[in-house]
């Protein structure tokens, strides 16, 4: 009661005539200060794929101590459009390309080296890579432009190799984040207009969420630079827009419901804030706690995403709870024009009862149908999830360099040409560092490993204590054969006494990334489920309901990943999911699914106090069905916007989460959960019991006052702020 009184006092002050303007001013002032303080912050540009303690990461750090550590080679691959052999004249013309390439090189270019089949040639050009991939992209852009002007007639040239891959990824993201932001805003705006059917109202939550996104971007960038976090800003933006819009939809839906009961829009918002805030805070806390578990991840990008996403969601919930309400009450009831919600009669109580009966008529019919046939409804819902989950069969994990691009880059096309005519591992050599005294023994051990085309020393440190060995593989990078070869190489060189040899390079990094992502999934997934269960237990004060809800949520997440994997294969010819997709998709599906569970079941528990569990669930679906569906469609569409980005990883994540949210909204919350509650009845709240569920079935009035009577009692004593406003 004390907590409720404090909440009522706060909401009254937040929405009163004077308090709304004060609150609005304070929130805007805080935002301006934060924008100014962190406006210049920039997150680290790193994108490490393997754990910090992985062998490949250790090799990468050691290689930085070698002379010319910032010198890496790009490969210029030449071939004919008709795939015929290169003529001797064309090979001579390629030699004339060397001075052009040397203008951008850090050392003399070598080649051309003609393949055994004579249908391709390659020139090796050492370049000085920049501090970031974006810096290297600028250098390669100039190199490619000059090379185009001097391309021999009848030949096609592509620049590939490790630095080219990184540069092409950076170049492909030029303007992509802005495109994502524009697409996201347009999607949210369109869906809000459809939801509210108002030419004005949609602007208010959109502006609030857009401000939250802008502030979250600056705060996460500052956190990234302080704690050296790596994360994808696009995912943060999508989360802020998706979750923030969901919170706004829930609050405005409750506000509109209260406007049907009273002529005082400030009082309506005060009541709506008190009723909606606990569910919004609980759902936000669930997602934030689940995301914070990612700090235990060993993959740097996953680790960094946890803290940055949590910051973004906290900014989103604060903006919706403290900026949106005063903004709405300042604008007044007419912001809903042309469908302005008003009480149907002079009596607010009678209007409230009428609104309660008429609200969500379609959803009420659906819920009533499910409650009458719970077993059949439950079996139908679970059957659909089972069918979706079958998409997991035949799904593999891990994409190679070529498959990671949604649109093929020049470096990816060049790698394909190179692999067709040269040893496939030529573009991504395996790198080994060893004690110089044992380098010959390490070379001998490497030569004995199957699939090694050649191995040679490629330099020493200034003190000559360490030697770099370059190995060319006969296997295409990231294939299972190449990954197995890394394991065999490590076993071979680790066995050389006193060599302290370590195996690295792109393929070794891929192997370590796969192991790290598997470790993260096995550790984080159970913890996410545990946190979600704990939040549900605290919120519902029950044991049975949280366990069953979590099991359903888990089944829904697995089904969505299966359906998304199947759609990726059928629609986009992507036969594997990227390494981070299973974990991130699972995290978002479970955490965001719990959001909708909280919205529904929190309402069902309060309604059960006066209508019993079955009646309470029908009423909860009737009141939340529309807003949960709207929120789910918005969230699914926003995640689908990730498909505009050039990386397949983000497109797959957006597809899976989008499908999962829609199914979770339309099937799980509308059919499966109500069916479970109907089958188990009041026992689902064990060991607690919502007040009033003890009312005998089929009897008339409940022991406790109805929601409308409670509402009427709340309005009996008018707060002094409202009384002053009325005067």
- pLDDT tens profile 10-33: 888 999 999 999 999 999 999 999
User: CA torsion sign, 162 to 164 to 169 to 174?
Assistant: positive
Buried b (16+ CB within 10 A) or exposed e, 370-407: bbeebeebbeebbebbeebbebbeebebbbbbbbbbbe
Token output for 665: 């909204």
257: pLDDT strictly greater than 80: yes
What does the pLDDT average to over 598-604?
85
DSSP character for 424? Answer: G
Q: Residues 6 or more apart from 174 whose CB is under 8 A from it? A: none
How far, CA to CA in Å, does 562 sit from each of 3, 282, 389?
Answer: 44, 29, 4
CA distance 523 to 521: 5
Contact 267, 715 (CB under 8 A): yes
Residue 687's pLDDT is: 84
CA distance 655 to 637: 9
Taking only the tens place, the pLDDT of each residue in 527-571 is 999 988 988 888 888 899 999 999 999 999 999 999 999 999 998
Residue 696's pLDDT is: 38
CA distance 174 to 441: 46
351: pLDDT strictly greater than 50: no
Contact 364, 618 (CB under 8 A): yes
176: pLDDT strictly greater than 90: no
Contact 621, 611 (CB under 8 A): no
Residue 70's pLDDT is: 87
pLDDT band at 714 (very low <50, low <70, confident <90, very high): very low
Residue 691's pLDDT is: 61
Contact 213, 177 (CB under 8 A): no
Gyration radius of the chain over CA positions: 31
706: pLDDT strictly greater than 80: no
User: CA torsion sign, 488 to 491 to 496 to 499?
Assistant: positive
Instruction: Report the CATH superfamily, name and number, of domain 71-172.
Output: Multidrug efflux transporter AcrB pore domain like (3.30.70.1320)
Class of domain 1-40+176-333: mainly alpha
Q: What 3-state class would DSSP assign to 411? A: helix
Q: What 3-state class would DSSP assign to 129? A: coil
What does the pLDDT average to over 690-701?
46
Which has the minimum average pLDDT: 330-334, 500-504, 722-726? 722-726
718: pLDDT strictly greater than 90: no
Instruction: Spell out the alpha helix ranges (H) of 150-264.
Output: 162-172, 176-196, 203-227, 233-259
223: pLDDT strictly greater than 90: yes
Taking only the tens place, the pLDDT of each residue in 282-299 is 889 888 999 999 999 999
DSSP 16-63: SHHHHHHHHHHHHHHHHHHHHHHTT---------S-TTSHHHHHHHHH
CA distance 175 to 437: 50
Contact 79, 532 (CB under 8 A): no
Strands 502-504 and 155-160: unpaired
Residue 3's pLDDT is: 55
How far, CA to CA in Å, does 181 sit from each of 165, 166, 194?
Answer: 25, 23, 20
Which has the minimum average pLDDT: 192-201, 286-295, 340-349? 340-349
Contact 312, 236 (CB under 8 A): yes
Contact 700, 610 (CB under 8 A): no
Strands 430-435 and 466-473: antiparallel
349: pLDDT strictly greater than 60: no
Taking only the tens place, the pLDDT of each residue in 385-429 is 999 999 999 888 988 777 777 777 888 888 888 888 988 888 789
Q: Name the range with the highest mean pLDDT among 434-443, 569-578, 679-688.
A: 434-443
DSSP character for 668? Answer: I
- Which one is predicted more confidently, 250 or 595? 250
- Which one is predicted more confidently, 443 or 646? 443
Instruction: Report the CATH superfamily, name and number, of domain 363-408+514-689.
Output: Multidrug efflux transporter AcrB transmembrane domain (1.20.1640.10)
Residue 707's pLDDT is: 40
Where exactly are the structural domains of the chain? 1-40+176-333, 71-172, 363-408+514-689
The upper half-sphere exposure of residue 403, i.e. CA atoms within 13 Å in the direction of its Cβ, equals 21
Residue 231's pLDDT is: 87
Which has the minimum average pLDDT: 49-63, 247-261, 405-419? 405-419
How far, CA to CA in Å, does 174 sit from each of 41, 165, 168, 415?
Answer: 19, 15, 10, 22
Helices (H) and strands (E) counted in the chain, each on its own, are 26, 10
How far, CA to CA in Å, does 129 sit from each of 21, 177, 273, 628?
Answer: 54, 24, 54, 49
CA distance 304 to 288: 14
DSSP character for 295? Answer: G
CA distance 59 to 68: 15
Residues in the chain, total: 727
CA distance 274 to 605: 16
Taking only the tens place, the pLDDT of each residue in 466-485 is 999 999 999 988 889 999 99
Alpha carbon of residue 311 to chain centroid: 14
CA distance 45 to 157: 30
Q: Residues 6 or more apart from 422 whose CB is under 8 A from it? A: 115, 120, 122
Closest-CA residue to 494 (of 51, 58, 72): 58
Question: The tokens 């490969």 sit on which residue?
Answer: 75
What does the pLDDT average to over 155-179?
81
CA distance 719 to 705: 22
Q: Residues 6 or more apart from 131 whose CB is under 8 A from it? A: none
Instruction: Spell out the alpha helix ranges (H) of 228-323.
Output: 233-259, 265-292, 300-322
Which has the minimum average pLDDT: 43-47, 86-90, 326-330, 584-588? 43-47
CA distance 718 to 10: 14
What is the average pLDDT value for the chain, to the nearest integer? 86
Residue 692's pLDDT is: 53
pTM over 0.75: yes
Which has the minimum average pLDDT: 75-79, 204-208, 503-507, 601-605? 601-605
What does the pLDDT average to over 644-664?
88
CA distance 612 to 703: 11
User: CA torsion sign, 648 to 651 to 656 to 659?
Assistant: negative
CA distance 103 to 178: 34
CA distance 426 to 430: 9
What does the pLDDT average to over 166-194?
81
Token output for 676: 């479970």
pLDDT band at 722 (very low <50, low <70, confident <90, very high): very low
Give the 3-state DSSP-derived string for 326-340, with helices as H, strands as E and coil as C.
HHHHHHCHHHHCCCC
Assess whether the region 1-40+176-333 and the region 71-172 belong to the same CATH fold.
no
Residue 643's pLDDT is: 83
Q: How many CB atoms lie within 10 A of CB 6?
A: 10
Q: How many CB atoms lie within 10 A of CB 1?
A: 5
Question: The tokens 């089949």 sit on which residue?
Answer: 117
Residue 627's pLDDT is: 82
């Amino acid at each position: 009661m004390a907590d409720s009184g404090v909440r009522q006092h706060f909401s009254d002050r937040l929405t009163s005539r004077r308090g709304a303007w004060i609150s609005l001013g304070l929130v805007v002032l805080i935002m301006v200060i934060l924008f100014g303080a962190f406006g210049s912050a920039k997150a680290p540009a790193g994108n490490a794929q393997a754990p910090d303690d992985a062998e490949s990461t250790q090799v990468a750090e050691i290689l930085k101590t070698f002379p010319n550590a910032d010198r890496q080679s790009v490969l210029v691959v030449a071939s004919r459009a008709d795939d015929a052999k290169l003529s001797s004249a064309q090979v001579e013309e390629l030699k004339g390309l060397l001075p052009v390439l040397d203008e951008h090189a850090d050392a003399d270019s070598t080649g051309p080296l003609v393949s055994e089949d004579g249908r391709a040639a390659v020139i090796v050009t050492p370049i000085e890579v920049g501090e970031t991939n974006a810096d290297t992209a600028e250098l390669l852009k100039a190199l490619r432009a000059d090379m185009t002007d001097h391309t021999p007639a009848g030949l096609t040239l592509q620049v590939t190799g490790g630095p080219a891959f990184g540069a092409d990824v950076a170049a492909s993201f030029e303007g992509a984040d802005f495109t994502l932001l524009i697409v996201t805003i347009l999607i949210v705006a369109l869906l809000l207009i459809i939801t509210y059917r108002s030419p004005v109202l949609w602007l208010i939550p959109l502006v609030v969420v857009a401000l939250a996104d802008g502030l979250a971007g600056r705060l996460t960038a500052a956190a990234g630079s302080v704690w050296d976090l790596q994360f994808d800003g696009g995912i943060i933006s999508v989360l802020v827009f998706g979750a923030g819009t969901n919170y706004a939809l829930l609050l405005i839906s409750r506000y509109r419901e209260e406007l049907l009961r009273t002529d005082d829009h400030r009082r309506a918002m005060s009541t709506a804030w008190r009723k909606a805030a606990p569910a919004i805070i609980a759902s936000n806390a669930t997602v934030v706690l689940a995301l914070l578990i990612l700090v235990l991840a060993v993959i740097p990008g996953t680790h960094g995403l946890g803290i940055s996403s949590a910051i973004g969601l906290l900014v989103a919930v604060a903006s919706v709870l403290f900026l949106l309400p005063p903004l709405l009450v300042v604008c007044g009831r007419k912001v809903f024009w042309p469908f302005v919600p008003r009480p149907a009669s002079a009596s607010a109580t009678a209007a409230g009862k009428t609104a309660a009966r008429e609200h969500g008529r379609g959803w009420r019919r659906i819920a009533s149908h499910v409650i009458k046939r719970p077993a059949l409804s439950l079996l139908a819902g679970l059957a659909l999830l089972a069918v979706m989950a079958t998409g997991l069969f035949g799904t593999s994990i891990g994409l190679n360099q070529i498959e990671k691009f949604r649109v093929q880059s020049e470096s990816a096309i060049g790698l394909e040409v190179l692999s067709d005519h040269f040893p496939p591992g030529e573009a991504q050599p395996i790198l080994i560092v060893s004690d110089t005294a044992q380098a010959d023994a390490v070379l001998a051990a490497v030569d004995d490993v199957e699939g090694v085309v050649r191995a040679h020393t490629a330099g020493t440190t200034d003190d000559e204590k360490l030697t770099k060995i370059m190995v060319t593989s006969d296997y295409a990078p990231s294939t299972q054969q190449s990954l197995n070869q890394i394991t065999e190489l490590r076993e071979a060189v680790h066995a050389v006494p006193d060599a302290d040899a370590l195996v690295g390079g792109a393929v070794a990094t891929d192997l370590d990334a796969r192991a790290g992502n598997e470790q993260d999934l096995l550790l984080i997934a159970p913890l996410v489920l545990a946190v979600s269960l704990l939040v549900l237990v605290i919120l519902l004060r029950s044991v049975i309901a949280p366990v069953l809800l979590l099991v359903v949520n888990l089944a829904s997440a697995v089904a969505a990943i299966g359906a998304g994997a199947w759609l990726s294969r059928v629609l986009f010819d992507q036969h594997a999911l990227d390494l981070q997709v299973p974990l991130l998709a699972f995290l978002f599906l479970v955490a965001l699914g719990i959001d909708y569970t909280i919205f529904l079941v929190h309402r069902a528990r309060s309604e059960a106090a006066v209508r019993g569990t079955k009646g309470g669930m029908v009423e909860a679906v009737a009141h939340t069905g529309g807003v949960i569906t709207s929120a789910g469609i918005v969230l699914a569409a926003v995640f689908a916007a990730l498909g505009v980005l050039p990386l397949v990883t983000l497109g797959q994540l957006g597809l899976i989460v989008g499908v999962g949210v829609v199914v979770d909204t339309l099937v799980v919350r509308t059919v499966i959960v109500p069916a479970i509650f109907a089958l188990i009845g009041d026992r689902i709240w064990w060991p607690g019991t919502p007040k009033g569920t003890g009312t005998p079935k089929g009897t008339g009035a409940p022991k406790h006052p109805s929601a409308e009577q409670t509402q009427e009692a709340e309005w009996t004593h008018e707060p002094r702020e409202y009384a002053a406003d009325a005067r």
